[in-house]
Amino acid sequence: MGKRNTQRKNIVMLDTDDDDNSSVSSSSTMKSDRTSVLGTEEVQLDKDSLLEQALDALYEKRGSTREKALASIIDAFNSNMQHQFLEKKFVTLLHQCLSCIKKGSSKEISLASHAIGLLALTVGCGDNAREILEDSVTPISQALKSGSESTKTVSLLECLAVITFVGGNEPAETERSMQIMWQLVRPKLGSNVVAVKPSAPVIAAVVSAWSFLLTTMDGWTLDPKDWQESISYFSGLLDKDDRSVRIAAGEALALIFEMGSLEKFTAEAKSSTNGSVQEGNKSREGLAHIQGLKAKILNQVRNLSAEAGGKGSTKKDLNSQRNLFKDVLEFLEYGYCPETSMKIGGDSLQTSTWSQLIQLNFLKRFLGSGFVKHMQDNDLLHDVFGFIPKRKYLQGVEHQMSSSEKRMYKSPNSVLNKARTQFLNKQRMMSKDRNFGRFSVNVGDEEA
């Protein structure tokens, strides 16, 4: 009843032809469209030299010097795929960044966290990504527990999400990172521990990072108690004053609905009513709670999709909220996922599930100015989104793949190539499973 014949389609145009982010280089590479291979190699040597200088500067005692070096490294990884440099300096760069997280100021920690995340996205799936994850989890977890500066905490959370997304092959590894995030907003307190109330930016970052990792998980294997706690928590966040928190919670709930988790609760509760009288009563109470929670969320989503605005709210933020919750409402009522199309250099990147949309939005925010370059040249992201750029030329010059890049990407027996295949197969299976997990919320049908 009331189904729409066509889905609302959001078109996001990102013209990169005149965008500085689509350029791959310094002014020396822009002097002529007829740059020779030799000239390109000289520019690469210059870039490697600058990166090595920045890496050396991470050993300096002065914090401000290390901060400048980290900013330079981030710029380099945003503007180009630094495979040749990483082939020689991967371990050194990783451990110097981890050292900055352990001893640096909040600004230095933020920069080092971002650099490690870029490092993971650049090396792609494989042994190096696993090394990043295993070596970084403990320092990041400790840094999250020390201090409450929002910018630092947000950067650490984003880093943890990215390195787990790339390097986490087992569900237990992903669950470990998600639990670290969850503890920031829902800590397990001892008798002598006082909870520190997280700020709105931290709450939004936790929910966003948690959702990003959830896109890689099979929700049906997770503990129903954890699911129910998270759903209730996200429902509560929809009533918060901060719009970024509401938006993050709305995306998380849409993803949970797409994975069919509330359907799982309902089916389990109904099947349990055939047990003992006491168990049956508990199951009926649980089923009533689930039905009430679904009805509450549907009402919250409907209200937020038509919110008139509030004190101090900007029109842009308000429109973003309305558009998101209109999409969520349409999905809950009719099962339609929002479709998006983003223009990257002349190529179109499309999403058709909440999982894809959440992954795209998160990585776009994380990469910032490097998003276009990575979407054009990063094979890992091509695999994640099924995106194959048609443009193989940059400013009229065919990209010359270095010997290190050939070893990393072209060898069929390389560890990276095998890992990428495994990662892509996992993505396909998850997408296939979710197509069967979609449902529309119809509270009246639950009583049947």
- For residue 13, name the pLDDT band (cuts at 50, 70, 90): very low
Choose between 78 and 2: higher pLDDT: 78
- Mean pLDDT, rounded, for 51-72: 95
Residue at 422: amino acid letter: Q
What pLDDT is stored for residue 299 in this prediction? 95
Quick one: 210 exposed, middle or buried, by C-beta within 10 A (0-12, 13-18, 19+)?
buried
136 and 222 within one domain: no
Task: Look at residue 393 and tell me whether its pLDDT is greater than 70.
Answer: no
Choose between 294 and 215: higher pLDDT: 215
Distance from C-alpha of 160 to C-alpha of 177, rounded to nearest angstrom: 7
131 and 165 within one domain: yes
The 3-state secondary structure of the chain reads CCCCCCCCEEEECCCCCCCHHHCCCCHHHCCCCCCCHHHHHHHHHHHHHHHHHHHHHCCCCCHHHHHHHHHHHHHHHHHCCCHHHHHHHHHHHHHHHHHHHHHCCHHHHHHHHHHHHHHHHHHCCCHHHHHHHHHHHHHHHHHHHCCCCHHHHHHHHHHHHHHHHHHCCCHHHHHHHHHHHHHHHCCCCCCCCCCCCCCHHHHHHHHHHHHHHHCCCCHHHCCHHHHHHHHHHHHHHCCCCCHHHHHHHHHHHHHHHHCCHHHHHHHHHHHHCCCCHHHHHHHHHHHHHHHHHHHHHHHHHHHHCCCCCCCCCCHHHHHHHHHHHHHHHHHHHHCCCCEEEEEEECEEEEECCHHHHHHHHHHHHHHHHHHHHHHHHCHHHHHHHCCCCCCCEECCEECCCCHHHHHHHCCCCCHHHHHHHHHHHHHHHHHHHHHHHCCCCCHHHHHC
Q: By the 8 A CB rule, do 212 and 177 touch? A: no
- 305, part of any domain: yes
- 419, part of any domain: no
* Domain stops at, among 293, 318, 336: 336
176 and 71 within one domain: yes
CATH, residue 145 = 1.25.10.10
Distance from C-alpha of 82 to C-alpha of 57, rounded to nearest angstrom: 18
Task: Look at residue 411 and tell me whether its pLDDT is greater than 90.
Answer: no
Task: Look at residue 213 and tell me whether its pLDDT is greater than 90.
Answer: yes
- 372, part of any domain: yes
What pLDDT is stored for residue 384 in this prediction? 92
201 and 65 within one domain: yes
* Domain stops at, among 163, 180, 209: 209
Helix axes 277-304 and 261-272, enclosed angle (nearest 10) = 150
85 and 98 within one domain: yes
Distance from C-alpha of 64 to C-alpha of 58, rounded to nearest angstrom: 10
- For residue 227, name the pLDDT band (cuts at 50, 70, 90): confident
Long-range contacts of 441-446 (CB under 8 A, 24+ apart): 441/257, 441/262, 441/294, 441/297, 441/298, 441/332, 441/333, 443/291, 443/294, 443/295, 443/298, 446/266, 446/287, 446/291, 446/294
The contacts of residue 53 (CB under 8 Å, 6+ apart) are none
What pLDDT is stored for residue 234 in this prediction? 96
- Return the closest-CA partner of residue 306 out of 317, 318, 293: 318
- Return the closest-CA partner of residue 96 out of 120, 72, 124, 69: 69
What pLDDT is stored for residue 442 in this prediction? 43
Task: Look at residue 436 and tell me whether its pLDDT is greater than 80.
Answer: no
Encoded tokens for 181: 């995030």
Q: By the 8 A CB rule, do 66 and 104 touch? A: yes
What pLDDT is stored for residue 35 in this prediction? 39
- 423, part of any domain: no
φ, ψ dihedrals at 110, nearest 5°: -60, -45
Distance from C-alpha of 444 to C-alpha of 448, rounded to nearest angstrom: 8
339-344 and 347-351 beta bridge pairing: antiparallel
Choose between 21 and 154: higher pLDDT: 154
Distance from C-alpha of 262 to C-alpha of 271, rounded to nearest angstrom: 14
Choose between 243 and 1: higher pLDDT: 243
Q: Which residue range(s) make up the domain with 60?
A: 50-188+196-209
- 418, part of any domain: no
245 and 99 within one domain: no
200 and 87 within one domain: yes
111 and 80 within one domain: yes
Q: Tell me: the pLDDT tens digits for 96-124?
A: 999 999 999 999 999 999 999 999 999 99
Task: Look at residue 164 and tell me whether its pLDDT is greater than 70.
Answer: yes
What pLDDT is stored for residue 169 in this prediction? 85
CA 436 to chain centroid, in Å, comes to 23
Q: By the 8 A CB rule, do 263 and 289 touch? A: no
What pLDDT is stored for residue 317 in this prediction? 76
Distance from C-alpha of 133 to C-alpha of 170, rounded to nearest angstrom: 12
- 30, part of any domain: no
254 and 367 within one domain: no
224 and 316 within one domain: yes
- 6, part of any domain: no
88 and 169 within one domain: yes
Domain count, the chain: 3
Task: Look at residue 211 and tell me whether its pLDDT is greater than 90.
Answer: yes
Task: Look at residue 409 and tell me whether its pLDDT is greater than 70.
Answer: no
Upper half-sphere CA count for residue 210 (Cβ side, 13 Å): 29
Task: Look at residue 288 and tell me whether its pLDDT is greater than 70.
Answer: yes
Distance from C-alpha of 110 to C-alpha of 138, rounded to nearest angstrom: 16
203 and 58 within one domain: yes
Task: Look at residue 370 and tell me whether its pLDDT is greater than 50.
Answer: yes
- For residue 307, name the pLDDT band (cuts at 50, 70, 90): confident
Choose between 20 and 199: higher pLDDT: 199
CA 411 to chain centroid, in Å, comes to 28
* Domain stops at, among 312, 336, 360: 336
Task: Look at residue 48 and tell me whether its pLDDT is greater than 90.
Answer: no
Residue at 296: amino acid letter: K
